[in-house]
Structure 1
Amino acid sequence: MLMKAVFRSKDLRRQLIRYAISGGGLTLFYSAIYWIAAVPVGINPLIANCIAFAVTVVLGFVVHSRWSFAGHGRRDRPVRSSLIFLLVNLAGFALNSFWVWAIAVYWSLSPSLPLLPIIFITPWVSFYLNRRWTFGD
């Protein structure tokens, strides 16, 4: 269903491209902070995840509101958009925390392995939620 909408909507295609660039960059930045804190520095992976989230959430709002989702939805309720963005990002944080907990803590695997779902799954969940609720109509 999403693929049909992508091919029909020029605006959605542009958003996906902008989100892939900006969201990809933010995800790599988040991942680098997490990895540096968890692997070479040796901080508990769940704490490293918290640090990465805290560093990137504000930057993410600026980038996504001004570029990724530019021209989409209403902009007359900035406080509402900011709060919803925070809730969506907290959902992404919870999802990333689940990956970190399940893979690095529960299964005691390498703290680098949660980066796979953090990079390839969470951003698309966040895209959908941000497009639908944060920057939607």
Structure 2
Amino acid sequence: MVEQHKTIIGQLIRFGLVGGFVTGLYAVVYSPLAGLGIVTPQIANLAGYFVAMVTGYVLHSRWSFRDHGTRDNTARTTSRFFVVSLVSLGLNALFVFILTAPNMLAGPWWWPLVPILFVTPLVTFSLNRLWVFA
């Protein structure tokens, strides 16, 4: 039981480090595009998503969840990771819409970064651990 808790804690720490890095990449792409008005916040969200998804798959599969599950079916793992990344995209798009759309809260471009930094990673960690890399 103690060993299982250590494993989960290790995965959570690695996921947090990689997730922080990947989320930072997302913010680096999203912020100038949305903040400078180069594109709409939703298009900036999509651009950030693509960068984060590709980087996240490589780092999470090779490091975050390296000791968890099997890698005998790469196609299954990859397709499940893609589904979870679509959940992530959907959550982030929802946050961007609710917090920045003129017919919703009409907040500044940076408001969605708060739930994107704190809510989305918790959801994706759970899905990756329990389903993708199980």
Per the TM superposition, whether the score is higher than 0.5 is: yes
Matched, 1:18 2:8: no
Counterpart residue identity of residue 127, structure 1: F
Alignment of 1:1-137 (within 5 A): 9-105=5-101, 106-136=104-134
The worse-fitting range, judged by mean Cα deviation, of 52-61 and 7-16 is 7-16
Identity of aligned residues (%): 39
For 1:65 and 1:131, the matched residues in 2 are separated by 11
CA contact (8 A) 1:46 1:101 kept: yes
**C-alpha distance 71-100 of structure 1, shift in aligned 2 (>3 A):** same
Counterpart residue identity of residue 22, structure 1: V
For 1:87 and 1:101, the matched residues in 2 are separated by 21
Structure 1, unmatched stretches of 5+, are none
CA contact (8 A) 1:30 1:52 kept: yes
For 1:98 and 1:59, the matched residues in 2 are separated by 22
In the TM superposition, residue 38 of structure 1 has moved relative to its aligned partner by 0.2
Q: How many residues align?
A: 132
Normalised by the length of structure 1, the TM-score is: 0.91
For 2:91 and 2:20, the matched residues in 1 are separated by 17
Deviations 1:7-27 (Å, cap 9, x if unpaired)? 961100100110111111111
Structure 2, unmatched stretches of 5+, are none
For 1:115 and 1:60, the matched residues in 2 are separated by 18
**C-alpha distance 76-7 of structure 1, shift in aligned 2 (>3 A):** closer
